[in-house]
Chain A
Amino acid sequence: MRFELGRIAGAAILSAGLSFGVAGAVSAQDYPHDTVTLVTHSSAGGGTDVFLREMSGFLGKAMGVNFVVENVTGGSGANAMAKLATSPADGSIFYGTTPTYINTSLLSNPEYDFTDMEGVVNVFLDPQIVFVKADSPYQTLADLIEAAKADPTSVPFGVTTPGSLDRQVMEQFKEITGVTSPVITHDGGGELLISVLNGTVAVAIGEIQELGPQIEAGEIRLLASYTEERLPNLPDLQTAREQGVDLVVTKFRGIAGPKGLPQEVKDLWAAGIAKVLEDPDFKAWYMEQSLIPRLMPAAEYEPFLAAFAEEQKAFLIQYGILQQ
């Protein structure tokens, strides 16, 4: 892999870009641009930023394009969406999607929102895991539900931020199981982890890549995954469904672009992603991160995002976060 340092936009603080491209390797059908910008609202070193930079190295080879990752931070994605919505829909600029941009669109009513963009292709799902402290008395979801029903306040549930996906999942969990325990919000994943480790909350939801060190050190124990099938690198971990809680969470990571992209660009992306997902080196990376590859071409991704937004909106209204 060849690193090209130097596209640090001197004045544009924080939107320091790093060109991370691999030149050459002409594909069968040429992509209409030599250089493609991938925008993320995450700052350098953040989750989506790392994902895009890691993928763009392999994707550059597969699609014969130089990829440049640009961090457009601020406004929880609002700035990045504004940049995308006002850029040409010619396949030269894309956005790394996570549920955040839909959430921000719904919550803050920014000038440009997710409806000014369209889904191009989905790449991964982030599996959501239920975890407890290592010495917790709860071995299964059933133990947890039983204890919570007996004394709701003795089993507080921890989540990250109020409008987050894991809060939504916890509320759904309560609805399905009929438990009434309090759901305690935090400022982020780090604070939540501390709350689990010091016993303030009894149970929380997280992602493998964040919890890895704690799992390895035996500080926390996993109870269930909200996935359809068991995770390949954690074969002993039962899904929630297997334990009688019918809940599957689809936290997605993919690519979106300005509205009105030509069909051929979308097809080239779907082909390119299909190719990188098979790349053994890339596979090693994403298996280690416990990401589930889930290729969705534009025709499938767009309705998926729309449905996700609808569901999210209903949740936000139901819990009073969003006024109707």
Chain B
Amino acid sequence: MDGISTAFNVLTTTPAIFAAIGGVAWGIIGGALPGISPSIALALLLPFTYGMDPITAIVLLGATYVGAEYGGSIPAILINTPGTNAAAATVVDGYYMHREGRGGEALGISLQSGVIGGLIGLIFLIVFTEPLSRVALAFNFPAYFALGILGLSVIVSLSNGSLIKGMMAATLGLMIATIGTDPLSGVTRFTFGEPELLTGIEYVIVMVGVFAMSELMMTANTPDWGKTDGKQTRIKLPSFKTWRKLWKAQGIGSGVGIFEGVMPGAGGSIAAFMSYNEAKRWSSEPEKFGKGSEEGIAAPEAANNAVACTALVPVLSFGIPGSNSAAILMGGMLIHGLTPGPMLFQKEPEFVYGLFGGLAVANISQLFLGILMMTPALWLVNRPKPYLMAAIFALVFSGIYSIHNSTYDLYLVLLFGVVGYLLRVFGFPFLPLVLGLVLGYLVEANYRRSLELTAGDHRIFWETPISLGLLSAAVLFLVGSAVRDILVARKAAKKVAEGAQG
């Protein structure tokens, strides 16, 4: 309880509490702008923190990270554009609900789930930093590989019925993931001599292209211009009755997020997808996923906010940033003379508890700021379509341009817009593509590194307990869904046959 009084003391004697609120506000705005990922929102803020005292500065950065992870869901729901990588899983059900005129409700679910996920993640960060840091250490190459494979097995349930099309889309995603520098040999692959492609294609460019640009093209195709989309212009937090339906999805999301946040290299987007899938698997209405399921928003949003908290575990316990955002946060600590790592808790307890307190304030104030900022956002997207589409186009382009200040990325986003358009026209699902993209590198690099360790001996994958467990889970899941699909198909066929007889 010493920690709580320290935190309280720090928060009441420094401007940290204002930093927490301001950080969340800026984070929500930054996260909502496509192209401004949480890490860019943090990087933009970093120079302003040089003159602040260390706690205020780091609370500001931490709160921005929290806000940005939530902010990404706003354009995902309202304009079919994930504002951040981790919001890609929210797009499907969120935008579906918005088109049904339930956008305010979707925003409310995302906000409430984000706050719950964030608070659960924070509690785990505060109470279990030590054991969680062991989870990060336990994951070696074969374990990461198996985690990636388990993630890819999700394709089966994300394919909306057409497994072949889902696999094709996922393969395309995996292929895009190979562009750039080979993780082991350093040879450049499929870069065609373009220095812009050396570090690979940013996920957000593919996601914005596939989701947002193709949406703009589709809208241009079906001129329905005079009308506005929704009728509902108020954010609506889930009622207690709805929440009773959501807690399971939120719990799954938080759990997956806590786990993935701790591991360097896994991160928010993988957590969002895995929790989406797990929520679907354990849901009582899995058929609603992809068609405006509330749980389909609750799980990934709880997950990515939980990630924002537990991503601090490797920073605080090893001094190792698990994501770009965590790296910038760590840079901020270094600038202020704080050395993250195993000695931080002993040497700077005031700082650590102050940071925890600040994050608690940030997560709670997110609820109020979210409600405050949602009404104007809803009003904006209910403007006449021609204005809205033009504004989205400008927003997306300026956001993408700002990633590297490069016009090259604009051509890329247009290219992926065309890819997304074709996928829509031919009825391919998007999520497998995005999943292949975010998991391709993880799977490939860790598969090859494992074999490098054993000089090509595959036994390492079943001799490593974590890897064995995760791979078995993937196999069980694949076989289970195949059997279920066959049974469903047989039942349907039987019905048709009976119908023909009768």
Contacts and interface: CB of A to CB of B under 8 A. Distances in A.
A18 interface: yes
Q: Indicate the member of B138, B453, B454 with the most A CB atoms within 10 Å.
A: B453
A99 interface: no
B452 A197 contact: no
B335 A194 contact: no
Contacts of B340: 213
- Chain B interface size band reads 35 or more
Contacts of B193: 108-109
- Chain A interface size band reads 35 or more
B499 interface: no
B327 to A, nearest CB: 8
Nearest to A190: B320
Contacts of B51: 3, 5
Given A13-B40, A14-B405, A153 B454 contact: yes
B198 to A, nearest CB: 5
A15 B187 CA distance: 29
B405 A193 contact: no
Contacts of B341: 212-214, 216-217
B47 A156 contact: no
Interface stretch (B95-103, B176-184, B301-309): B176-184
B47 A200 contact: no
A222 to B, nearest CB: 16
Nearest to A191: B264
A13 B453 contact: no
Q: Indicate the member of B327, B331, B332 with the most A CB atoms within 10 Å.
A: B331
B328 A44 contact: yes
A198 interface: yes
A198 B140 contact: yes
B405 A45 contact: no
Contact of B183 (A109, A185, A198): A185
B117 to A, nearest CB: 25
A111 B188 CA distance: 17
A280 interface: no
A247 B137 CA distance: 32
Interface string B337-360: 001111110000000000000000
A217 B343 contact: yes
B50 A216 contact: no
Contacts of A316: 186
B490 interface: no
Interface in B441-461: 445, 449, 452-455
Nearest to A11: B402
10 contacts: A74-B404, A74-B406, A75-B196, A153-B453, A162-B185, A184-B453, A187-B265, A190-B322, A190-B327, A214-B342
Given A198-B138, A214-B341, 5 more contacts: A44-B43, A45-B43, A200-B141, A316-B186, A320-B187
A-B complex: 10 closest residue pairs judged by Cβ atoms: A45-B331, A213-B341, A162-B186, A217-B342, A13-B402, A190-B320, A74-B404, A163-B186, A321-B186, A78-B195
